[in-house]
Chain A
Amino acid sequence: MWTFFHKLASPPHFYRLSARMMPWFAASGIILILYGAVAGLFFAPADYQQGDAFRIIYVHVPAAYLSMMAYMVMAIAAGIGLIWRMKLAHAVAAGAAPLGAWFTFLALATGSIWGRPMWGTWWEWGDPRLTSELILLFLYFGYMALRSAIDDPARADRASAVLAMVGAVNVPIIHFSVEWWSSLHQGPTIIREGGPAIVAEMLYPLVGMIVGFSLLFGALLLSRVRAEVLYRERRAKWVREMIEAGTRA
């Protein structure tokens, strides 16, 4: 087990392995997303209160879930990089940040579009779920700005890792905000006491979308980390040998 992780942390091994894994992640993710989108848009019954507007959840929920998951990936990787000085971990953190920012933007935008017909407003500043999710977006921006503001890569890694770890406190706040405070946002739908609050015809496409988007996120993350690894290792012997051999792995 440890040998596997130790080997995985080696940049050349990761670079080659990720090239093989990426297409599988992307293809399985796209298949699940297509299933989820078609089943969610055309076969799931309309909600008795929200009507067809509820179908927005099939893109909103995966985006919101990934916005938090990407942050956790970033914070854990940054922590590993800071404690064990693993270069690959910092590359993972750097690769997760822009993806997390995009999915946070998507969660906020789709939530806002859903809120207009359902709540009668695009945005509600007093709502803890909305506000904490917006703070998450600013945390991503802060992390990326800090990284690009420091020229020395080692210092940039360390400083941004501290910010990523401190900001992780916002993730449980986002998740539990609807339980801790009064919120316009609805409570948990899938993972809750007494089982999911929606019928199987609505639930399966949603699970398909969440898993599909997670796999696609995995493929995108691998792609970004590969670029980051290549950049950091640009003077390494294995990169030179790989390029000279013309193997665009």
Chain B
Amino acid sequence: MIEKLAMGNYGLYVWSCYALTLIVVLVCSVQASRRHRAVYSDIMRRLKLKES
């Protein structure tokens, strides 16, 4: 198993690429949902202000 994870001495290169990919995908997902949430709450706040 350890031999497999070592990727024939290229482990550092291979795993860093996969880790970077995971980070980018997570950042993209968080950014997308945060933006939607921010816009949604901003509209909700404005509507409440208007009502009051």
> Which of A's residues lie within 8 Å of B, judged by CB?
37, 41-42, 46, 51-53, 55-56, 59-60, 63, 98-99, 102-103, 105-106, 109-110, 113-114, 116-117, 216, 220, 223-224, 226-227, 230-231, 234, 239-240, 243-244, 248
Contact = CB atoms under 8 A, between A and B. Distances in A.
5 contacts: A42-B4, A53-B7, A220-B29, A227-B32, A230-B40
Contacts of A227: 32, 35-36, 38-39
Contacts of B14: 41, 52-53, 55-56
**Interface secondary structure of B, over-half rule:** helix
Interface in B9-29: 10-11, 13-14, 16-18, 20-21, 24-25, 27-29
A223 B17 CA distance: 25
Nearest to B50: A240
A52 B17 contact: no
Interface range for B: 20 to 34
Given A102-B27, A224-B35, A51 B21 contact: no
A240 B18 CA distance: 43
Given A98-B31, A102-B27, A105-B24, A230 B43 contact: yes
B49 interface: no
A243 B17 contact: no
B13 A116 contact: yes
